[in-house]
Amino acid sequence: PAHITKERMAKLAFGMMRTNNKLAQAAKRNPASFVNAIMHASKLGLEPGIDAHLVPYENKRQNTVEIQCIPDYRGLLKLARNSGEITSISIQIAYTNDTFDLSLGTEDKMTHKPKLTGDRGEPMLVYAVAKFRDGSHHVEWMSVEDINRIRDGSSGYRIALATAKKYDRQPDSPWISSWEEMARKTMARRISKYLPRSIEIQNVEKLMDAGDKGV
């Protein structure tokens, strides 16, 4: 896409390697895979480190490492907006000390007033609202329990817990260090099933599903 120049993409790629030693080592082991991941991000119009991540996966069968371009929730929403059928889409987290009310039926009604000062409490619910060009809208929501069930089924999360237990250390997983970001990403994947289906979104979902399964 015109808004991404080769110079900017190169700058972003080198910036990620400088700040992520695991990615840098993977790029040295398999430069072609690294280049392919950058090219994939470029074709999708996504920027590594901003709305997409370059994630190394061990390929034990071929004794190498492969790098995948995995969009985060911002990247998924950007791809959804690119369809031209969506006027706005947002993903929010409601906390226990916020004022929140949800009514479902012939007309979905939602009120969310975040607590602006003091402790907002614990995450209670994640929701997304998409508004379409024809004036209609779609609402999706998931409880924290729903989100965590998906987390617990993720191969990457299970491997992180098993590795931490084996070596008696803290788990290294974005589900632990960035739960809110992962929750928003999970919700983005949920609502994308009800949005205009572009080839880009379908391909991205296949990549993310493979990553969850450790493939």
Distance CA 101, CA 111 (A): 5
pLDDT of residue 101: 94
Mean pLDDT of the chain: 87
| Residue 195 or residue 28, greater confidence | 28
Residue 212 has pLDDT above 80, yes or no: no
pLDDT digits (tens, 9 = 90+) for 90-101: 999 999 999 999
**pLDDT tens-digit profile of 45-101?**
889 988 888 988 877 788 889 898 888 888 888 888 877 788 888 999 999 999 999
Quote the pLDDT of residue 145.
96
User: What is the DSSP track for the chain?
Assistant: -TT--HHHHHHHHHHHHHH-HHHHHHHHH-HHHHHHHHHHHHHHT--BTTTEEEEEEEETTTTEEEEEEEE-HHHHHHHHHTTSSEEEEEEEEEETTSEEEEE-SSS-EEEEE---SS---SEEEEEEEEEETTS-EEEEEEEHHHHHHHHHT-HHHHHHHHHHHHHTS----HHHH-HHHHHHHHHHHHHHTTS---HHHHHHHHHHHHHHTT-
pLDDT of 119 reads 95
Q: Is residue 205 predicted with pLDDT exceeding 90? A: no
pLDDT band for position 210 (cuts 50, 70, 90): low
Given a cut of 70, whether residue 42 has pLDDT beyond it is: yes
